Amino acid sequence: MRVLSLALGLATSLWLPLNSAVAEGASLDLTTRLALFQSAFPEAILGHAANVLVMRDGTEITIDDGQVKSHAEALKGADIEDMLSQIYPLGRCYTGAPPAKNFDPGRIRNDAFFKSLYGADARAVSADMEPVGWFNTSVAFSRRHGAAAALARVARDLSSPTQDEAKFLNTLGGTFNWRVISGTKRLSAHSFGVAIDVNPKHSTYWRWSGGTPGNVPSYQNKVPHSIVEAFERHGFIWGGKWYHYDTMHFEYRPDLIAIGRQAEALGCVD
Ligand SMILES: [Zn+2]
């Protein structure tokens, strides 16, 4: 426990000077990423000691297993370091160009971490869901760690949509669904009640284009950037910034948004 409190103290002291003292162009090393990651989930993460992330519910997760992984291997068996390895591009760091091969920031997830955050099975996740008003309907979202409150803020920001925005927002693809990702054994973010799909009819998805894992031929998107920015403002990432694109998909990831904002402040480091 003493080691843990030392690590916690270190993380806190790293967090404080970030905005003021870190020079433009400095890299965002793992220690800095961990401090930002931890600060996004203060009620869930107790701290880290040596190479282990310690959750308040007692879950312990390896931070870096030391293995060199291909992208496919990282998706299948992610540690925390893998999960934070790609920086989600925000603001001036996002050009709108098709993402580079296998650049999927946020798609690499550690299941144990998400189970600790939102519930280990469908019943546990469901127990902490609440309805969030969404135009003329409501959707179920996890209330844990500020997710449902953040979605409510997105709905407020988009409450007077243009005609082009409205067609993506009036009909949804869904939110909570305990399921594996198509073609894999990995749990989808929808399993944890923290993802929302806008209208699939107007969206594009890498598998629908005939892509295969690691080989996606043609990036396409029709989702207006104003919708993307409204979600990002409140802690959500967008699947349209992935090489394996999923343009209907938005997912509550305040950790990756915090790291992305810091990267932008430092001059778009990676
Ligand atoms: Zn989705």
3-state secondary structure 183-221: CCCCECHHHHCCEEECCHHHCCECCCCCCECCECCCCCC
Residue 224 CA, ligand 1 centroid: distance in Å: 17
**Sheet of 60-62, strand order:** 45-49, 52-55, 60-62
Residue 118 CA, ligand 1 centroid: distance in Å: 17
Residue 80 CA, ligand 1 centroid: distance in Å: 22
Position 235 in a domain:
yes
Residue 27 CA, ligand 1 centroid: distance in Å: 31
Q: How far is CA 139 from CA 68, 136, 143, in A?
A: 40, 10, 12
Residue 250 CA, ligand 1 centroid: distance in Å: 6
Position 204 in a domain:
yes
Position 183 in a domain:
yes
Q: Which domain holds residue 90?
A: 2-265
Residue 245 CA, ligand 1 centroid: distance in Å: 11
Instruction: Write down the pTM of the prediction.
Output: 0.90
Position 168 in a domain:
yes
Residue 67 CA, ligand 1 centroid: distance in Å: 29
Residue 175 CA, ligand 1 centroid: distance in Å: 7
Position 72 in a domain:
yes
**Per-residue confidence in pLDDT tens, the chain, 270 aa:** 444 444 444 444 333 333 334 555 567 999 999 999 999 999 999 999 889 999 999 999 999 999 999 999 999 999 999 999 999 999 999 999 999 999 999 999 999 999 999 999 999 999 999 999 998 899 999 999 999 999 999 999 999 999 999 999 999 998 999 988 878 888 999 999 999 999 999 999 999 988 999 999 889 999 999 999 999 999 999 999 999 999 999 999 999 999 999 999 999 987
What is the tally of structural domains in the chain?
A: 1
Residue 245's region, left for phi above 0, alpha for psi from -120 to 50, else beta, is beta
The letter for the amino acid at 150 is: A
Residue 190 CA, ligand 1 centroid: distance in Å: 6
Residue 74 CA, ligand 1 centroid: distance in Å: 20
Residue 266 CA, ligand 1 centroid: distance in Å: 30
Position 38 in a domain:
yes
Residue 196 CA, ligand 1 centroid: distance in Å: 6
Position 114 in a domain:
yes
Position 270 in a domain:
no
The letter for the amino acid at 138 is: S
